[in-house]
Amino acid sequence: MNRRRNRLILSERAAAQERRAQQKDRLLSELQAGEVRHGRVSSLTDFGAFVDLGGADGLIHLSELSWGQVQHPSQVLRVGQEVDVRVVTVDRETKKIGLSLKQVEENPWTRIEQKYHVGDTVPAKITKLAQFGAFAELEPGVEGLVHISELSDERITHPKQVVREGEDVLLRIIKIEPQRHRLGLSLRQAEDGGDYDYAAGGGFEPWSGGSSYSFGGGAAVANGDEGAELGEAAVGDTDVEAPEAGEPEAAANGTARVGDH
């Protein structure tokens, strides 16, 4: 206010910021973890998507966008898209909200035993190669491990000698562990026609190559006298410990500071 010139100066931007701050506080006091809210995608980043819930932005971390593998949020969402999300975390002190898109949908592992059975031959896509085997996706969110001993009847030293990432293949299911989100798969048994006694064997035959593998960030890989470092590979909910077939998944729920970003 300029009394000398009898002028009153108003700011629409300041008023809008004040209204939004009030909306943030009200929304933060109302939000509860576990509830489903409707919102609009406000922006995309390499690590996730921000969703405006009506005055406050929450973050859907990359790992919470889909049960399947997602390299970038643009594969799933677009700016301006309206979505239903589940509230995962609410931190009122730091004003951070963690959201999940995949938790609004059914977890495909809950019906895995109804849809797939040991001995089935199924189409799959090779998604990742590791020293001890190849990971293959049967459907979004459902992946399994083809151990190196189950890739070929020939002795091989690396899965790239048989398959490549992105390749479509037919695989035989040899082990299912729904609670651990693990599938054991075999390429050689699918090609052989499969005379394997699953009831007696309960899974793939152990590889006699004398190597020991562990899967995880910075895990060492022993192979004879040579060692290597495996980078972190997260494709499921649990870590994989070879030679068991597994379905690893990692990444914690993301959170976002409520406000402008």
Per-residue model confidence as pLDDT tens digits over 171-218 = 999 999 999 999 999 999 998 765 544 444 444 443 333 333 333 333
Q: What is the pLDDT of residue 201?
A: 42
Task: Output the pLDDT for position 4.
Answer: 66
Please check whether residue 111 is in contact with residue 39, taking contact to mean a CB–CB distance below 8 angstroms: no
Question: pLDDT band at residue 60, thresholds of 50, 70 and 90?
Answer: very high
pLDDT attached to residue 237: 42
The arithmetic mean of pLDDT across residues 108-121, rounded, is 93
Give 141-166 pLDDT, tens digit per residue: 999 999 999 999 999 999 999 999 99
pTM of the model: 0.59
Lowest mean pLDDT among 18-32, 72-86, 92-106, 116-130: 18-32
Q: Is the peptide bond before 243 cis (omega within 30 degrees of 0)?
A: yes
As a whole number of angstroms, the distance between CA 246 and CA 143 comes to 8
All CATH 2.40.50.140 domain ranges of the chain, comma separated, are 12-104, 108-230
**Mean pLDDT computed over every residue of the chain:** 76
Q: What is the CATH number of domain 108-230?
A: 2.40.50.140
Assess contact for 126 and 163: CB atoms under 8 A.
yes
Instruction: Please tell me the least confidently modeled range out of 58-67, 86-95, 124-133, 206-215.
Output: 206-215
pLDDT, position 182: 93
Higher pLDDT, 45 or 236: 45
Instruction: Please compute the mean of the pLDDT values over residues 1-12 and round it to a whole number.
Output: 61
How far is residue 252's CA from residue 255's CA, in Å, rounded to a whole number?
9
User: DSSP letters of 99-132?
Assistant: EESGGGSPPGGGGHHHH--TT-EEEEEEEEEETT
For residue 8, the model assigns a pLDDT of 59
- Evaluate whether the domain defined by 12-104 bears CATH number 2.40.50.140: yes
- Greater model confidence, 248 or 114: 114
Q: Which residue from 255, 261, 258 is spatially nearest to 64, judged by alpha carbons?
A: 255
Residue 252 sits at φ, ψ, to 5 deg, of -85, 160
pLDDT, residue 189, reads 95
Give the position of tokens 């491990």: 145
Is 198 within 8 Å of 215 (Cβ atoms)? no
